[in-house]
Amino acid sequence: MKTAIEIRQNFVDGKISAVEIVTQYLERIKKYDSELNAFLAVFNERALEKAKALDAKREKGEPLGKLAGVPIAIKDNILIEGQLCTCASKMLENYKAPYSATVARLLEEEDAILIGKTNMDEFAMGGSGTHSAFGPTKNPYDLTCSPGGSSSGSAAAVSADLCPIALGSDTGGSIRQPAALTGIVGFKPTYGRVSRYGLVAFGSSLDQIGPFTHSVKDVALMMEVLGKHCEHDSTSLNTTPIRYLEEIESSLEGKRIGVPWHFLEELNGEVKDNFEESIEKLKSLGAEVIDVDLDILKYGVSIYYILSTAEASTNLARFDGIRYGYRTKKAENLESTYRLSRSKGFGWEVKNRILLGTSVLSSSSYEELFAKAQKVRTLLIHKMREAFGKCDCIAIPTAPSTAFALDGMKDPLEEYLQDLYTIGANMAGLPAISVPSGLSAKGKPFGIQFMGPQTHDLEVMRFAYAFESKCPPLSPPQFGAGND
The span from the CA of 75 to the CA of 72, in Å, is: 10
Q: Is 174 a catalytic residue?
A: yes
* Nearest alpha-carbon partner for 195 in 165, 168, 231: 231
Three-class DSSP category at 300: helix
Handedness of CA 378, 379, 380, 381 (dihedral sign): positive
Q: List strand residue ranges (DSSP E) for 106-208, in order.
A: 113-118, 165-169, 185-188
Q: Are 12 and 58 in contact (CB under 8 A)?
A: yes
* 197 residue type, one letter: Y
The active-site residue, picked from 100, 150, 151, 152, is 150
The active-site residue, picked from 132, 154, 174, 437, is 174
* Nearest alpha-carbon partner for 173 in 156, 193, 151, 155: 151
The span from the CA of 459 to the CA of 330, in Å, is: 56
The total number of residues written for the chain in this structure: 484
DSSP labels for 345-367? HS-HHHHHHHHHHHHHTSTTTII
**DSSP single-letter state for residue 473:** P
Q: Is 150 a catalytic residue?
A: yes
HSE-up of 173 (CA within 13 Å, CB side)?
35
* Nearest alpha-carbon partner for 269 in 400, 139, 413: 400
The answer to whether the bond into 313 is cis (omega within 30° of 0) is no
The span from the CA of 330 to the CA of 126, in Å, is: 30
Radius of gyration of the chain (CA): 21
The CA-based diameter of the chain, rounded to the nearest angstrom, is: 70
The active-site residue, picked from 17, 50, 66, 75, is 75
Burial class (CB in 10 A: 0-12, 13-18, 19+), 101: buried
Catalytic positions: 75, 150, 174
